[in-house]
């Protein structure tokens, strides 16, 4: 495909610009993602530095398509600006000859992105969470140092601290939530105040305990003080590893079908339970039984809807990963003619020409298409591939017009 010296020169120039821009963009996104992960998981500086190599593969599928477009625009923009395209045409060289290198770059970028999504990215995500959660106590202490509180929807307690010194919680206050509080009532049924406490995690049972030196209790059913006790609760999903296990992005390509089939089977089982329970409720003439039955049916419906969303998300992932990989060749097709027509040699102008249309068209289409596909408003494959179809059509038309000149 790159038999001529001209094509090889163009290709290696594309590779040079591609690698330079890929390194710059990856570094920029890495800083943002590192800050985000540190904020979400309460990572220390040492944990964050150790996790950086595991974050890089997750960034590359975001950076590779953009840098493919950018490098194509830069290289072909320079060719046009230096009148080399006109010279080549005057020498009888067909424009398709100079287009081959960018098509090859797009194909290589697509293959690399697809390979990353197949196994590398899921495995590095699994390693990342395994490394971070190797010391869950440190994660919780770091979170308390930063936020001075531990609040999670899955926890029955909320914890506030004035300070964290090493592994000691200073002036801690723990409050127990009321389940389904009525409007206008107090959301907590007791409050315990302690001068000093420690936090212990038991990963085997998936629980954590707040152990105070002594505490003062103020509640509806009890008040006073005590010298020793502990408050035990389930670990937050983000620390127990449940979030990591449920993350679709952490599943390899080969694991996706099994998870989809298992989730679909769980949903079907819930549907059977709902149908059987509904038939049983409809046979009863007891008002109390029917009222309780309606509440139970609402809970089953909630579970069915949740499982249905999980199934749709898993099915969407099967389309989303190859669609994002194919965006590399789509952007390569767009970058070549746009670079020639833009006729720009500077990086800033090329950046504006490339990224503003991409941000305003491709990614909104990608997000909106995926959402409507998951919601069942359009076929799932169409929603996930809509951005590639639209931008691919634009790229083919631009390339066709270029080659007709």
Q: Domain boundaries in the chain?
A: 5-133+317-404, 136-240, 255-311
Q: How confident is the model at residue 290 (pLDDT cuts 50, 70, 90)?
A: low
* CB of 319 closer than 8 Å to CB of 381: yes
Given this model, what pLDDT does residue 219 score?
A: 46
Strand 215-219 relative to strand 207-212, pairing: unpaired
**Residue 199 CB neighbour total at 10 angstroms:** 21
Given this model, what pLDDT does residue 42 score?
A: 66
Write out pLDDT tens, residues 135-168.
777 778 887 888 888 887 767 788 888 888 888 8
State the Cα–Cα distance between residues 325 and 75, nearest whole angstrom.
Answer: 22
* CB of 70 closer than 8 Å to CB of 63: no
Which stretch, 39-53, 66-80, 201-215, 269-283, has highest mean pLDDT? 66-80
For residue 372, pLDDT beyond 70: yes
Question: What number of H helices and E strands is found in the chain?
Answer: 13, 9
Degrees, nearest 5: CA angle 324-328-333: 135
Around 145, how many Cα atoms within 13 Å sit in the side-chain half-sphere?
18
C-alpha distances in Å from residue 215, one per residue of 159, 174, 249: 14, 10, 43
Q: How confident is the model at residue 241 (pLDDT cuts 50, 70, 90)?
A: low
Q: How confident is the model at residue 19 (pLDDT cuts 50, 70, 90)?
A: very high
Given this model, what pLDDT does residue 201 score?
A: 83
Q: How confident is the model at residue 182 (pLDDT cuts 50, 70, 90)?
A: low
The SS3 of residue 9 is helix
Given this model, what pLDDT does residue 222 score?
A: 45
For residue 213, pLDDT beyond 70: yes
The percentage of the chain sitting over the pLDDT mark of 70, rounded to a whole number, equals 84
* CB of 384 closer than 8 Å to CB of 378: no
Nearest to 332 by CA among 24, 11, 29: 11
Given this model, what pLDDT does residue 223 score?
A: 47
Interaxial angle between packed helices 363-374 and 380-404, expressed in degrees from 0 to 180 and rounded to the nearest 10: 150
Tell me what the mean pLDDT of segment 349-364 comes to.
Answer: 75
Q: Which residue has the higher pLDDT, 109 or 363?
A: 109
Tell me what the mean pLDDT of segment 224-233 comes to.
Answer: 62
Given this model, what pLDDT does residue 180 score?
A: 65
Given this model, what pLDDT does residue 347 score?
A: 65
Given this model, what pLDDT does residue 224 score?
A: 45
Write out pLDDT tens, residues 57-115.
989 998 899 899 888 888 888 887 777 777 777 777 777 778 889 999 999 999 999 99
The percentage of the chain sitting over the pLDDT mark of 90, rounded to a whole number, equals 19
Which stretch, 317-326, 330-339, 373-382, has highest mean pLDDT? 317-326
pTM of the prediction?
0.76
Bridge partners for 194 per DSSP: 172, 215
For residue 30, pLDDT beyond 70: yes
For residue 220, pLDDT beyond 60: no
What is the pLDDT of the chain when averaged over all its residues?
81
State the Cα–Cα distance between residues 177 and 190, nearest whole angstrom.
Answer: 8
Q: Which residue has the higher pLDDT, 297 or 71?
A: 71
Burial of 349 (0-12, 13-18, 19+ CB in 10 A): middle
Given this model, what pLDDT does residue 318 score?
A: 92
Long-range contact set of residues 305-310: C-beta below 8 Å, sequence gap at least 24 = 307/263, 307/264, 307/266, 307/267, 307/270, 308/267, 309/374, 310/263, 310/267
Least confident residue range of 220-224, 327-331, 360-364: 220-224
End-to-end CA distance of the chain: 22
Given this model, what pLDDT does residue 74 score?
A: 86
């Amino acid at each position: 495909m790159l038999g001529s010296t001209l094509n090889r020169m163009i290709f290696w120039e594309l590779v040079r610009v591609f690698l330079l821009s890929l390194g710059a963009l990856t570094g920029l996104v890495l800083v943002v993602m590192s800050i985000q992960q540190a904020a979400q998981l309460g990572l220390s500086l040492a944990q964050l530095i150790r996790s950086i190599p595991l974050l890089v593969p997750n960034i590359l599928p975001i950076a590779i398509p953009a840098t493919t477009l950018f490098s194509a625009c830069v290289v072909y923009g320079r060719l046009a600006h230096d009148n080399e395209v006109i010279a080549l045409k005057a020498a009888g060289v067909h424009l398709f000859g100079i287009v081959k290198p960018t098509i090859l770059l797009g194909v290589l970028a697509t293959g690399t992105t697809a390979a990353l999504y197949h196994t590398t990215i899921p495995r590095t995500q699994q390693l990342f969470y395994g490394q971070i959660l190797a010391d869950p106590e440190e994660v919780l202490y770091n979170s308390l140092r930063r936020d001075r509180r531990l609040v999670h929807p899955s926890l029955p307690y909320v914890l506030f601290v004035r300070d964290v010194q090493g592994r000691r919680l200073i002036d801690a206050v723990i409050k127990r939530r009321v389940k389904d509080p009525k409007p206008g009532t107090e959301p907590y049924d007791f409050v315990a105040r302690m001068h000093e406490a420690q936090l212990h995690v038991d990963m085997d049972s998936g629980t954590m305990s707040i152990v105070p030196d002594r505490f003062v209790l103020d509640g509806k059913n009890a008040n006073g003080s005590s010298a020793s006790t502990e408050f035990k609760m389930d670990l937050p999903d983000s620390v127990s590893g449940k979030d990591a296990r449920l993350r679709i992005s952490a599943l390899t390509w080969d694991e996706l079908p099994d998870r989809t089939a298992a989730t679909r089977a769980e949903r079907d089982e819930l549907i059977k339970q709902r149908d059987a329970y509904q038939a049983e409720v409809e046979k009863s003439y007891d008002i109390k039984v029917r009222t309780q039955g309606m509440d139970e049916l609402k809970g089953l419906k909630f579970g069915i809807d949740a499982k249905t969303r999980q199934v749709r998300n898993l099915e969407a992932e099967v389309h989303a990963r190859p669609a994002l990989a194919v965006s590399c060749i789509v952007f390569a097709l767009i970058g070549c003619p746009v670079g020639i027509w833009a006729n720009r040699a500077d990086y800033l102008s090329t950046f504006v020409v490339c990224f503003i249309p991409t941000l305003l068209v491709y990614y909104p289409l990608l997000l909106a298409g995926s959402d409507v596909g998951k919601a069942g408003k359009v076929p799932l494959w169409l929603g996930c591939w809509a951005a590639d179809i639209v931008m691919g059509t634009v790229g083919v038309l631009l390339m066709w017009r270029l080659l007709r000149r």
